[in-house]
Amino acid sequence: MSTTNTTPALEVRHLTVSYRNRPVLGDLSLPPLLPGQLVALVGPNATGKSTLLRALARLVPASGQARWDGQDLLAMPAAALARTIGYMPQSLPETAALNVLEVTLTAMQARALPAREEELAAMAVLERLGIDDLAMRRLDQLSGGQRQVAALAQAIARDSPILLLDEPTSALDLRHQWRVMDTVRRLADGGHLVITVLHDLALAAQWADHILVIHRGRLHACGTPQAAITPEMLRTVYGVEARVQHCERGRTMVLIDGPAEAPPA
Amino acid sequence: MTREACHPAVVVSTAGLDTLDEYRRLIWRRRGLVALLLILALASALTDFVSGPSSLGVVDALRGLFDAGSLGRGQRVILWEVRLPIAVLAVLVGMALALAGVEMQTILGNPLAEPFTLGVSSSAALGAALAIVLGVGVPGFDLAWLVPANAFVFALGALLLLQLLARTHQAGPETLVLFGITIGFAAGALLSLLQFVASEDALQQLVFWTMGSLARADWTNVGLLTAVLVVTMPFSWRAARRLTALRLGDDRARSFGVNVDRLRLWALVRASLLAATAVALVGTIGFVGLVGPHMARLLVGEDHRFLLPASVVCGALLMSLASVISKTLVPGVLMPVGIATSLVGLPVFLVLITRRHRRR
């Protein structure tokens, strides 16, 4: 996989998604997103972050352009798309009588590997995420957090150049949050383009190269964490008065003082 | 921890390799379970074959199976034209209903889905009733085939209507199940109407049909259902991994590259064909399409590479046991097998529910 940071990889232009004639994403264009980048999608609830991921994974009908290295993601054959994009929805169902290894293997069908190679690759992913001890446990025997890491294993196991993760840390304790974000960071450093929805701005600022602030279906701001996470953005987008402190080693603290006088724009 | 390179691009620890060995053992255990169930189903079919109200003993029956010439003409007819078709048809009907049931449960994401709950059986019964009570049926069929032909057309029609409703209303799996229940109730109401106006003879015939019976088994029926199974099963097997993916939700399956709409459509077509043929040949049979897959799921999990064959053999076993019970419960009387499937299926289903509840 290419690890160059000079060639634009994922280009999204004028992407529009509507549910029942109500636009959820309106004419959304993004700066070129590159292999090797970890991109955090942030913004209030119901502003279109998950919809953007679902549109790129072609799970909702969308118009506009989404191209990866010149190939049209919106028109690519399904199997080729599955090899290009690893999508992780918010949680795994607990009712399926499958164990974690089986769930991971199921996600790998588009890779069409020989059985033994597929099993080794799946096991390697579980080890990388630190859930190899859960490999033979069934989904209904896992906690919500463990299921979430298993879901991440499914996305990673496909070894696709683009990873789209929908709130991969939302049900995790601090230790697992760190482990997941560290794994995601390493994947990006290894040449994947990782786009992840995060609600925790401190986590986004700590790990992401770029922040995309989505507000009401449009790109409100983008840039490095220092550039994108500002008191003004928090007031306009989230409707809160807050202080932002950028500490050493790229850490950012967001201290909420209370609701802004004016509601979000 | 020692780490061992197993593939140029993949490194797995020795503990990981041990886990993979455990997984291989699990796979072999599942294969063993399917084989064991198959042996039990064959043993049950053999018991079915040697039991019956006639005076033909077990030894004579077994000898007659391998050397038909050792029997008198009457015994040969009983063995080869009555008992063997019944035993074989019981196994085939069980296989067909269970395969239809497991595919329906998976594609609709509903553990209660089966030909019975989706209105297929009621619609088939309505078709049969039209033939029995009013003599109305598919043109071109003689009296002997009018009832099964009608039942088949109505069962298939019910599932096509279900598809049509689902497509026009862009219904999800839950709505599809509700549509199925609606069709079942509508067919049931019309069936009651026909029962109300039926003559005494027709009513008796109809009640017997709706109870499900293997008494009409012959080699033509066996051939028909075998053909349907031979045509549909390879496609089910091929779809096994995609069906497993569907158990994790539509979005996930789609993101794995599965064409969910096409998978669902063809699985429903296969299930329709299997259920409609089985119900047309033996009448309304409940529980097998529901209990067979649940039993299999409990034994081998939901990797469909094992769940599909396990469901098929569980269905065969249940139906064959029901056939034995239908012959032996009341000595000298051949009870409708539909009653026996409920008698066999109900306790098994209760055990499954309570075990599942306890596990949680």
Token pair belonging to B18: 């041990």
pLDDT for the residue numbered A69: 86
Residues 6+ apart with CB under 8 A from A184: A38, A163, A165, A168, A194, A196, A207
pLDDT for the residue numbered B358: 59
pLDDT class of B356 with cuts at 50, 70, 90: low
**How large is the C-alpha radius of gyration of chain A?**
18
Enclosing H/E stretch for B246: helix B240-246
| Nearest residue in B to A164, CA atom | B255
pLDDT for the residue numbered B350: 83
The residues of A whose Cβ lies within 8 A of any Cβ of B are: 54, 57-59, 78-79, 81-83, 85-87, 89, 92-93, 96-99, 101-103, 106-107, 109-110, 117, 119-121, 123-124, 126-127, 132, 135-136, 138, 140, 154, 158
| Nearest residue in A to B106, CA atom | A96
Structure confidence by residue, pLDDT tens digits, B279-303: 888 888 888 999 999 999 999 999 9
Residue B328: count of CB within 10 angstroms of its CB = 17
Distance CA A31, CA B268 (A): 44
Report the gap between the CA of B350 and the closest CA in chain A (Å).
19
Residue among B13, B15, B247 minimizing CB distance to A98: B247
Contacts of B252 in chain A (CB under 8 A): 89, 92, 107, 154
| Nearest residue in B to A151, CA atom | B252
| Nearest residue in A to B110, CA atom | A95
Q: Which of A3-7, B199-203, B314-318 has the lowest mean pLDDT?
A: A3-7
Token pair belonging to A264: 């979000």
Q: Which of A187-201, A237-251, B85-99, B292-306 has the lowest mean pLDDT?
A: A237-251
Contacts of B247 in chain A (CB under 8 A): 93, 96, 98
Do B242 and A120 lie within an 8 Å CB cutoff?
Answer: no
Question: Are β-strands A252-259 and A240-246 bridged in parallel, bridged antiparallel, or unpaired?
Answer: antiparallel
Structure confidence by residue, pLDDT tens digits, B237-248: 999 999 999 999
Residue among A57, A97, A101 minimizing CB distance to B297: A97
Residue A128: count of CB within 10 angstroms of its CB = 17
Do A85 and B245 lie within an 8 Å CB cutoff?
Answer: no
- Taking CB atoms within 8 Å and a gap of at least 24, the contacts of B215-220 are B215/B86, B215/B334, B216/B281, B216/B282, B217/B82, B217/B85, B217/B86, B217/B88, B217/B89, B217/B90, B217/B281, B217/B282, B218/B81, B218/B85, B219/B81, B219/B85
Residue among B9, B15, B19 minimizing CB distance to A136: B19
Q: Is the pLDDT assigned to residue B127 strictly greater than 80?
A: yes
Residue among B12, B245, B251 minimizing CB distance to A123: B12
The mean pLDDT value for B117-128 works out to 87
The residue type found at B147 is V
Report the gap between the CA of B178 and the closest CA in chain A (Å).
21
DSSP letter, residue B68: G
Q: Is the pLDDT assigned to residue A249 strictly greater than 50?
A: yes
Residues 6+ apart with CB under 8 A from A88: A151, A152, A154, A155, A163, A164, A165, A166, A168
Contacts of B251 in chain A (CB under 8 A): 54, 57, 59, 87, 89
The residue type found at B330 is V
Distance CA B152, CA B120 (A): 9
Distance CA A90, CA B215 (A): 53
Nearest to B268 by CA among B174, B185, B175, B176: B176
* pTM (predicted TM-score): 0.87
Q: Is the pLDDT assigned to residue B215 strictly greater than 70?
A: yes
The residue type found at A132 is D
Residues 6+ apart with CB under 8 A from B160: B272
pLDDT for the residue numbered B177: 84
Residue among B16, B301, B360 minimizing CB distance to A132: B16
Report the gap between the CA of A135 and the closest CA in chain B (Å).
7
Distance CA B283, CA B129 (A): 11
A167/B142: higher pLDDT: A167
3-state SS class at A164: strand
Do B257 and A83 lie within an 8 Å CB cutoff?
Answer: yes
Interchain CB contacts (distance < 8 Å): A and B: 107
Across chain A, what does the average pLDDT equal?
88
Contacts of A89 in chain B (CB under 8 A): 249, 251-252, 255
Contacts of A140 in chain B (CB under 8 A): 359-360
pLDDT class of B359 with cuts at 50, 70, 90: low
Structure confidence by residue, pLDDT tens digits, B6-25: 444 578 889 989 999 999 99
DSSP letter, residue B218: -
Distances (CA, A) of B166 to B106, B176, B272: 16, 6, 15
Do B248 and A102 lie within an 8 Å CB cutoff?
Answer: no
Contacts of B245 in chain A (CB under 8 A): 106-107, 109
| Nearest residue in B to A101, CA atom | B23
Residue among B9, B19, B254 minimizing CB distance to A132: B19
ipTM (interface predicted TM): 0.85
- Top residue of B10, B255, B294, B297 to mutate, by most chain A CBs within 10 Å, is B255
pLDDT for the residue numbered A264: 67
| Nearest residue in A to B296, CA atom | A97
The residues of B whose Cβ lies within 8 A of any Cβ of A are: 6-7, 9-13, 15-17, 19-20, 22-23, 26, 241-242, 244-245, 247-249, 251-252, 254-259, 297, 301-303, 359-360
Contacts of A109 in chain B (CB under 8 A): 241-242, 245, 256-258
Nearest to B17 by CA among A124, A146, A150: A124
Question: Are β-strands A63-68 and A10-19 bridged in parallel, bridged antiparallel, or unpaired?
Answer: antiparallel
Query: Which residues are A86's β-sheet partners?
Result: A163
Contacts of A54 in chain B (CB under 8 A): 251
Structure confidence by residue, pLDDT tens digits, A38-62: 999 999 988 899 999 999 999 999 9
3-state SS class at A213: strand
Q: Is the pLDDT assigned to residue B166 strictly greater than 80?
A: no
Q: Is the pLDDT assigned to residue B185 strictly greater than 60?
A: yes
Token pair belonging to A169: 């840390």
Contacts of A110 in chain B (CB under 8 A): 256-257
Do A120 and B22 lie within an 8 Å CB cutoff?
Answer: no
Do A106 and B297 lie within an 8 Å CB cutoff?
Answer: no
